[in-house]
């Protein structure tokens, strides 16, 4: 068991939890729900990996995770965000990260995007409504981005574009970091 690294995740419909579990298997480390995480728990580890879903541009739970990490003695924070945006939309994803980090954090905190999908059957009502409003807004726009088009089309539908190989860049980053400190 890897005693240096802890994964903390927040997941509503299961995609982020699945990614957290894949990463936990690859790194042989523990994955805990943000609800069960504390700065005391984080202090037992060197590296904290936080994962959350993109939600209207913001990584859900990241603010809390950053606070807990800041209060802990853990040394390195790494973040992954899951989302419905196609992973080929690299410019959009780069812009989205800017909502979540200060310029200083952007260069200091390694961050990775993993494409997921939408799981309507597990989505709270509020989220379904948000998607409806979003789709209505997109409909009235003349020029739509590929993401807007895809989200509006996927309204009411579920799909899964997640895949295990998407964890690889993060896993390699962590293995190198662990090696450097061993």
Ligand X SMILES: Cc1cc2nc3c(=O)[nH]c(=O)nc-3n(C[C@H](O)[C@H](O)[C@H](O)COP(=O)(O)O)c2cc1C
Which residue number, 65 or 84, has a Cβ lying nearer to ligand X?
84
Q: Which residues ranging from 108 to 147 are in contact with ligand X (CB under 6 A)?
A: 116, 118-119, 123, 127, 130-131
Q: Binding mask 63-82 vs ligand X (x if CB under 6 A, - otherwise)?
A: -------------------x
Do the Cβ atoms of 136 and 105 come closer than 8 Å?
no
Do the Cβ atoms of 82 and 53 come closer than 8 Å?
yes
Residue 56 contacts ligand X per CB under 6 A: yes
> Which region, judged by CB under 6 A, interacts with ligand X, from 10-18, 30-38, 136-144, 168-176?
10-18
Give burial (CB, 10 Å; 0-12/13-18/19+) of 35: exposed
Residue 100 contacts ligand X per CB under 6 A: no
Which residue number, 82 or 166, has a Cβ lying nearer to ligand X?
82
Which residue number, 72 or 116, has a Cβ lying nearer to ligand X?
116
Q: Specify the pairing of strand 5-9 against strand 47-55.
A: parallel
For ligand X, how many residues bind (rule: CB under 6 A)?
Answer: 23
Q: Which residues of 83-119 are buried (b: 16+ CB within 10 A; e: fewer)?
A: bbbeeebeeebeebbeebbeeeeeeebbbbbbbbbbe
Residues that bind ligand X (CB under 6 A): 11-17, 53-57, 82-85, 116, 118-119, 123, 127, 130-131
């Amino acid at each position: 068991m890897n005693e240096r690294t802890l994964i903390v995740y927040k997941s509503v419909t299961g995609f982020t939890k699945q990614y957290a579990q894949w990463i936990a298997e690859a790194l042989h480390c523990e994955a805990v729900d943000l609800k069960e995480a504390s700065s005391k728990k984080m202090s037992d580890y060197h590296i904290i990996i936080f994962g959350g879903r993109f939600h209207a541009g913001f990584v859900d739970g990241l603010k809390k995770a950053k606070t807990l990490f800041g209060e802990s003695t853990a040394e390195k924070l790494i973040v992954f965000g899951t989302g419905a945006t196609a992973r080929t939309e690299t410019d959009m994803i780069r812009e989205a990260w800017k909502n979540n980090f200060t310029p200083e954090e952007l260069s200091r905190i390694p961050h990775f995007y993993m494409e997921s999908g939408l799981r309507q059957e597990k989505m709270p009502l509020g989220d379904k409504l948000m998607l409806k409003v979003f789709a209505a807004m997109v409909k009235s726009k003349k020029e739509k981005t590929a993401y807007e088009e895809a989200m509006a089309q996927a309204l009411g539908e579920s799909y899964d574009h997640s895949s295990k190989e998407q964890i690889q860049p993060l896993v390699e980053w962590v293995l190198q970091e662990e090696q450097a400190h061993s």
